Chain A
Amino acid sequence: MSTTTSDMVTLLLGVGGILLFASSVGYVLQRKLSPDGSNGAIENLNARIKAWWAMVFLIAIAFIAGRVGVLLLFAFCSFAALREFITLINTRRADHWAIAAAFFLALPINYYLLWAEEYGIYAIFIPVYAFLLMPIIAVLRGDTQNFLLRISEVQWALMICVFCASHVPALLTLQIPGYEGRNVLLIAFLVIVVQSSDVLQYVWGKLFGRTKIAPKLSPSKTVEGFVGGVASATLLGTSLWWITPFTPLQAGVMSLIITLMGFFGGLVMSAIKRDRGVKDWGHLIEGHGGLIDRLDSVVFSAPIFFHLTRYWWSLT
């Protein structure tokens, strides 16, 4: 067994152990406090834990399937996220072709370029080509009402749901000396740090949360949850330095940046939800809401993590 595979197995066992623990706690809480399923918070907690099992299972399958598996998984995530996003924005009939192009051209081409490892084109395809071509497609229909608003929203949707989200699998294209063949562990590192930060903020907030941190944006987020979650997720990330090309100190700094970007990304996406008057982006994941509700922090941290790693560690 290669070291990459054995490290992956160790990680999965660790995550599985934590989920087993979470499931047992959830079970005990449910028996004690909500035997008839009447305690909403506990039912939601258990729905979330169940969904976590499914998500970890899916990610594990994608990792086993290799590069194509990871690309397909994130292409699907982008598709579902883009669908949630476009559902909530201002569109008019004149945007039909531009939106169809976003789904059926921009999204597949973006992931194809990653598969083909055409980094140079990938990095500008949505920010430059799609950015210029989509408003052209829209303007040909001659409808000027809310035009700037409409084209901005579609471009923003593409940037967030496709371009930024695809920086997770883009980690596979980095060439880091001494780290060959282990890039999939960088994805594991990013996903574990971001998601554990979300979960730990939730746990710290539930246990010790007193002071609301952004009452207008997200009433459930507290200062205590933020500080405790970020600190403990950063510690967790530091302790995972052995799966990365980083030293423990570097892994810690990276984790801190990832968790902060994730936190603020969550706030940005919440502000959009509030503006649109919805509580969740969708209903894809039981207990969690939509896919974007789970992905928001990853989307904001992935490109920064990718570029920091690329700038300082990668040859490409």
Chain B
Amino acid sequence: MIRDLLAKLASVAIMMFARALTAARALWHESGLPPRQSVYFANHSSHGDFILIWAVLPPWLRQRARPVAGAEYWLKSKLTSFIGRDVFNAVLIERDPAARTSDPVEQMASALDEGASLIVFPEGTRNQTEAKLLPFKSGLYHLARKRPDVALVPVWINNLNRVMPKGEFVPIPLICTINFGEPLKVEPDESKEDFIARAQAALLSLAPAQTDNDA
């Protein structure tokens, strides 16, 4: 009871903080808001990524959005597990195949069956390189095959990597935009490689033209 209340308070506080810092602004695709149930797949450069997507979604979409995150990171301490489990209701998956007790794709599919939307980062880890996007892992494809009716929405998060680069602990205020693309689905006879290439291209097309910010 108290834990629920604290979680509610924490979620409001985190959202207000993220908004005050980044003036986060969503740019929706011309076809309108994403479907009620979606799998949002985004580029990953910061621990704050899913918070920003979650914060700019309208309340009725936000309520059902659950981030998919690495269990070993979020279960590390009491605080992170409170934030991961209670505040954001994350679907915690084991990234190391050797340590797995359950199949991540199965976990995600059952969360979808319960009506949740998912926020996933198909690069698998935070991108610390100069490349815009790391090659996708295959989880997104397997999930799409398992639940082919759920819309997959590409989401490009712009600038958050500059707000808090890896290894820094003081965030700097910069304006972030979150660019939602056109929902896509896996075609019945599409191969894994084709689908992954299409999903990567859909996400990359949302990125702003290369500026000399990272020159």
CB distance A282 to B168 under 8 Å? no
Does chain B have a CB within 8 A of A224?
Answer: no
A residues 65-122 near B (Cβ < 8 Å) are: 79-80, 82-84, 86-87, 90-93, 96-97, 99-100, 103-104
Looking at A87, A92, A104, the one whose CB has the most chain B CB atoms below 10 A away is: A87
Does chain A have a CB within 8 A of B23?
Answer: yes
Chain A nearest Cβ from B39, distance in angstroms = 28
Complex Cα–Cα for A146 and B173 (A): 22
Asked if A93 meets B172 with Cβ closer than 8 Å, knowing A87-B159, A146-B215, the reply is no
Q: Mark B155-190, 1 if CB is under 8 A from A, else 0.
A: 000010010010010101111000000000000000
CB distance B165 to A96 under 8 Å? yes
Complex Cα–Cα for A307 and B154 (A): 53
Complex Cα–Cα for A283 and B25 (A): 9
Chain A nearest Cβ from B19, distance in angstroms = 12
Interface residue count on the A side (C-beta < 8 Å):
23
CB distance A90 to B23 under 8 Å? no
Q: Mark B204-215, 1 if CB is under 8 A from A, else 0.
A: 000000011111
Number of CB contacts from chain A to chain B under 8 A: 41
CB distance A96 to B213 under 8 Å? no
Residues of B within 8 A of A104 (CB): 170
Complex Cα–Cα for A130 and B175 (A): 23
Residues of B within 8 A of A284 (CB): 23
Complex Cα–Cα for A50 and B80 (A): 43
CB distance B23 to A282 under 8 Å? yes
Chain A residue nearest in CB terms to B170: A100
CB distance B172 to A96 under 8 Å? yes
Complex Cα–Cα for A277 and B208 (A): 12
Tell me which of B172, B175, B211, B214 contacts A282 (CB under 8 A).
B175
Interface size bracket, B side:
10 to 19
Chain B nearest Cβ from A284, distance in angstroms = 7
Chain B nearest Cβ from A84, distance in angstroms = 6
Asked if A96 meets B23 with Cβ closer than 8 Å, knowing A86-B174, A90-B212, A90-B213, the reply is no
CB distance A87 to B174 under 8 Å? yes
CB distance A91 to B162 under 8 Å? yes
Chain B nearest Cβ from A116, distance in angstroms = 25
Complex Cα–Cα for A145 and B212 (A): 12
Complex Cα–Cα for A103 and B165 (A): 17
Tell me which of B25, B172, B211 contacts A103 (CB under 8 A).
B172
Complex Cα–Cα for A79 and B175 (A): 12
Chain A nearest Cβ from B25, distance in angstroms = 6
Residues of B within 8 A of A145 (CB): 215
Q: Mark A241-279, 1 if CB is under 8 A from B, else 0.
A: 000000000000000000000000000000000000100
Chain A residue nearest in CB terms to B213: A90
Asked if A79 meets B162 with Cβ closer than 8 Å, knowing A282-B23, A283-B25, A284-B23, the reply is no
Complex Cα–Cα for A282 and B162 (A): 17
Chain A residue nearest in CB terms to B214: A92
Residues of A within 8 A of B215 (CB): 90, 145-146
Residues of A within 8 A of B165 (CB): 93, 96
Chain A nearest Cβ from B46, distance in angstroms = 12
Looking at A92, A96, A97, the one whose CB has the most chain B CB atoms below 10 A away is: A96
A residues 297-313 near B (Cβ < 8 Å) are: none
* A/B interface sample: 12 pairs, CB < 8 A: A79-B173, A80-B23, A83-B23, A86-B174, A90-B212, A90-B213, A92-B214, A96-B172, A99-B172, A103-B173, A282-B175, A284-B23
Give B contacts to A, CB under 8 Å.
Answer: 23, 25, 159, 162, 165, 168, 170, 172-175, 211-215
Give A contacts to B, CB under 8 Å.
Answer: 79-80, 82-84, 86-87, 90-93, 96-97, 99-100, 103-104, 145-146, 277, 282-284
6 more A-B contacts (CB under 8 A) besides A83-B173, A87-B174?
A80-B23, A84-B175, A90-B213, A91-B213, A146-B215, A282-B175
